[in-house]
Amino acid sequence: MRGDNALYEGHRIILPGIRERAAATCRGCRFCVPIVGREETRLACLATLDIYLTGTKRVPEELKALDFIWLAGREALLKAVEKVRPEGQACGFYGPRG
């Protein structure tokens, strides 16, 4: 019986700001920055660090891996690199670059 009411299912409320988050990707987020290591550069999500998420420190254009490890540790670096999906849908911490 639920599948019969197609008119009701087409009327969903989208809250302001949710539409741009739903259409956004990690690559366009201000927290997604390249982490420069000795041999390679990878994207990482800085929203995992409270100092960048709360705005205490400004999000840099790129960050050295040693600086990230000094701030949060090696486990946090691995977690931040795994969190980024460049072409995937952005997470709830999405903030547009700018």
Of 15 and 38, more confident: 38
pTM: 0.72
* pLDDT range class, residue 40, cuts 50, 70, 90: very high
Closest CA to 97 of 43, 15, 32, 16: 32
Per domain, the residue ranges of the chain are 25-90
Q: CA 78, CA 29: separation in Å to the nearest integer?
A: 19
The length of the chain is 98
The backbone torsions φ and ψ at residue 83, rounded to the nearest 5 degrees and listed phi first, read -70, -30
Higher pLDDT, 44 or 15: 44
- The dihedral of CA 27, 94, 74, 52: what is its sign? positive
